[in-house]
Structure 1
Amino acid sequence: MDASHQKVHLSCAEISNLWDTYINDSVVKCILTHFLKTVEDSEVKPLLEFTIEVADSHLSDISRIYEQEGIARPEGFPVEKHVNLSAPRLFSDIFFMEYMQHMSKFGLSSHSNAIATSARDDIRSLFEKFHGQALELNREITTLMKKKGVYIRPPYMNYPKKAEFVDKQNFLTGWLGKKRPLLGNEVNHLYMTSLHNELGKSTLIGFAQVAQERELKSYFHSGIQLSDKILRETHHVLMESDVPNSMTWDAIVTESTNPPYSDQLMLFVVGILFQLGVAAYGLALSMCMRRDVGALYSSFILRALTYSEDGAQMIIERGWLEQPPMFADRDKLIKGE
């Protein structure tokens, strides 16, 4: 650890990474607290308890840094304000596992980025610890899902028998003429896109059932339709190359209409899911070498951004958006406003 780390001002990246982690972990704690209250599988329960403990430790660690640095701590999403523990279960135990697995993947990505963009040794060490915890959760939840037969693997493919080089320009085409088979990497991203949209669709169905505001119900319903459209288009590309579609699990959303979460929390969670979708589509686009598939991901990004912006406007209209850290407005300071 730097001997002088307390004298080194946090960078904008470090401040933003800490803020994002605090907000996201407060959301995770809320969501999983109700999961824990309603879980039925005795093997899933310990993982929920572990994940909540990890989220709690993150909130405590970041709060300590805020206090040391004299930084205002965000409100986040307190459980007592946003969770109704008396509400019946909204999702199945399978959904609980899928949700934890998805969040562990997000943790691995976001904490890695925080390590790469942090300079202070204490902040790097903190996110290295966070990354290790996300890795442990991902390993444990993957092991449990495989044990229970609910882990969905990407499709298998034949092993390459020899090294070959591309010798035709139509390797990149995809709109006209015969399309080449999908690359293994392209199938992997299409498959992950399908799985993530299945999770998003289930989340939106549950939230649409229990949302209190009619406008939010309508917004969540339009999200269901968007996820459905992306799923159909993704499956179509896979079927063209005779690749099996991702499996889905039935009845992961109950018939409850009693909200376990506040409208504010649900709207924020949907925003996070679509932001993660944009990031995933962007990565897939950068790795794609068939033009038609690349164009498909470009359209996914545009649609997800448009939907996410509509949600952000609804959050702002209701005074629910906590302002992220931002640079000083020099014009206002100069004008004395």
Structure 2
Amino acid sequence: MPEKAPITSSELGTLWLTYQEKTMILRMLEYFIEKADDEKAKEIMTSLHSDLELYVGKIITIYEQEGAVIPVGYTAQDVNKDVPKLYDNGFDIMFVRLLKQISMGLHALNLTMTFREDINILFEDLTALTQKYYRICSQYLLEKGLLVRTPFVSMPKSVEFVKNKDYLSASTLNPLSQKRTLNTVEVAHLHKGIEANLTGLQMILGFAQCAHDNQVKKFFHEGAELAKGIIKEISELMIQDGLPVPQTPGGNATRSTVAPFSDKLMMYCTSLFCSFSLGSNSLGTAFSLRNDLPAKMSIFTKDIFEYAHKGAKIMIKKGWTEEPPQMVNHKE
């Protein structure tokens, strides 16, 4: 038996996906580090960049040992650090924090699809690293007053059980039907939805004003309108229960129209955020018991999926979509 078993198809695929994501993040960090005007933020991002470079190197080593071609991913050609700031007021760490949310889910999923010990350890280590930087970014934003906590609530004094099906009621067909107040689980997912879309909105507004290709520019403008609509819909649900709506007090796109990133990189980043939104909406639907919430989440999911599909077609048309490793076609 060989000392190490050959890597499987799922291991090759998860490593490929991780390489794409990490090389994109490295390029974006390089720009944000260059433009950082806060020393602590710069320190956080520089440390993260150094740590991620190490793991990209480990993935390259595994590929080389297996005789597999190294993916292209995202390179120095996809970033231009010598341009004006595209974002201001804490956006860099807000953006990194959201990327860490995405990465936590990806690494946990990838870990369930790997078998070889060295690859298991790689994803375990990446998970721990991601959790570490998510905590650091959250604490930084809280200290700066740039992160809004979920609403506080009176502590329950007794355990209650659902007594009848009215707990589920909130018919979307009958707006006069009685609605119970939102529970804390539902509020958590709604709050997270607004928070993520607020950061995503500023990101895509910046992308829209500096994209080179007119079709890409139009795509980003459509994405901004989609994010605004989702924020408005979720906010109305919280307002109906007298709950405060999160409004991020920072992270603005500036007036710059000079692109720090390639259209290819910005399209991929938007695609990654769409995938995260689809997963988050699915979780929100699964854990919401008031039946108007899954109905709304399903509409969001449909709209985001259609938007992401449109983006995928643009990327293929422009020749920006790198193919994942393929299985052998035995018919050929």
State the AA in 2 paired with 1:84.
N
**What is the match of residue 257 of structure 1?**
257
TM-score, structure 2 normalization: 0.96
State the AA in 1 paired with 2:203.
T
CA distance, structure 2, for counterparts of residue 321 and residue 223 of structure 1:
19
**What is the match of residue 197 of structure 1?**
197
**What is the match of residue 162 of structure 2?**
166
- Structure 1 residue 116: deviation in Å? 2.4
State the AA in 1 paired with 2:117.
D
**What is the match of residue 300 of structure 1?**
300
CA 24–5 in structure 1, closer or farther in 2 if over 3 Å, else same:
farther
CA distance, structure 2, for counterparts of residue 152 and residue 19 of structure 1:
35
- Structure 1 residue 117: deviation in Å? 2.3
Q: Percent identity?
A: 27
State the AA in 2 paired with 1:43.
K
Stretches of structure 1 lacking an aligned partner (at least 5 in a row): none
- Structure 1 residue 32: deviation in Å? 1.0
Select between 198-207 and 8-17 the one with higher mean Cα deviation.
8-17
- Structure 1 residue 14: deviation in Å? 1.5
**What is the match of residue 138 of structure 1?**
134
**What is the match of residue 100 of structure 1?**
96
RMSD of aligned C-alpha atoms? 1.4
Q: State yes or no: 1:37 paired with 2:34.
A: yes
Equivalent pairs counted in the alignment come to 328
Equivalence map 1:216-255=2 (5 Å): 216-250=216-250, 252-255=252-255
Q: Is the 8 A contact 1:5 1:120 kept in 2?
A: no
CA distance, structure 1, for counterparts of residue 89 and residue 47 of structure 2:
16
1:157 to 153, 157, 164: 153
- Structure 1 residue 329: deviation in Å? 2.3
- Structure 1 residue 149: deviation in Å? 1.9
**What is the match of residue 50 of structure 1?**
47
**What is the match of residue 214 of structure 1?**
214
1:77 to 74, 77, 86: 74
Select between 145-154 and 280-289 the one with higher mean Cα deviation.
145-154
CA distance, structure 2, for counterparts of residue 5 and residue 292 of structure 1:
55
Deviations 1:290-322 (A, max 9, x none): 111001111111100000000000000011100
- Structure 1 residue 172: deviation in Å? 1.0
Deviations 1:180-217 (A, max 9, x none): 11111111001100011111110110001101111111
Q: Is the 8 A contact 1:44 1:93 kept in 2?
A: no
Look up the SS of the partner of 2:252 in the other structure: coil
Select between 27-36 and 88-97 the one with higher mean Cα deviation.
88-97
State the AA in 2 paired with 1:260.
P
Q: State yes or no: 1:68 paired with 2:65.
A: yes
Deviations 1:60-112 (A, max 9, x none): 0100000111121110000x211111111101141111111111122222112
Look up the SS of the partner of 1:130 in the other structure: helix
- Structure 1 residue 4: deviation in Å? 5.0
**What is the match of residue 14 of structure 2?**
17
CA distance, structure 2, for counterparts of residue 108 and residue 270 of structure 1:
18
CA distance, structure 1, for counterparts of residue 201 and residue 103 of structure 2:
21
CA distance, structure 2, for counterparts of residue 185 and residue 4 of structure 1:
49
Equivalence map 1:310-329=2 (5 Å): 310-329=310-329
- Structure 1 residue 243: deviation in Å? 1.4
TM-score, structure 1 normalization: 0.94
2:84 to 84, 88, 95: 88
Look up the SS of the partner of 2:81 in the other structure: coil
Look up the SS of the partner of 2:253 in the other structure: coil
CA distance, structure 2, for counterparts of residue 11 and residue 249 of structure 1:
46
Q: Is the 8 A contact 2:147 2:248 kept in 1?
A: no
Select between 215-224 and 110-119 the one with higher mean Cα deviation.
110-119
CA distance, structure 2, for counterparts of residue 172 and residue 307 of structure 1:
30
Q: Is the 8 A contact 2:90 2:250 kept in 1?
A: no
CA distance, structure 2, for counterparts of residue 157 and residue 320 of structure 1:
47
Q: Is the 8 A contact 2:169 2:179 kept in 1?
A: yes
- Structure 1 residue 118: deviation in Å? 1.6
**What is the match of residue 278 of structure 2?**
278
Stretches of structure 2 lacking an aligned partner (at least 5 in a row): none
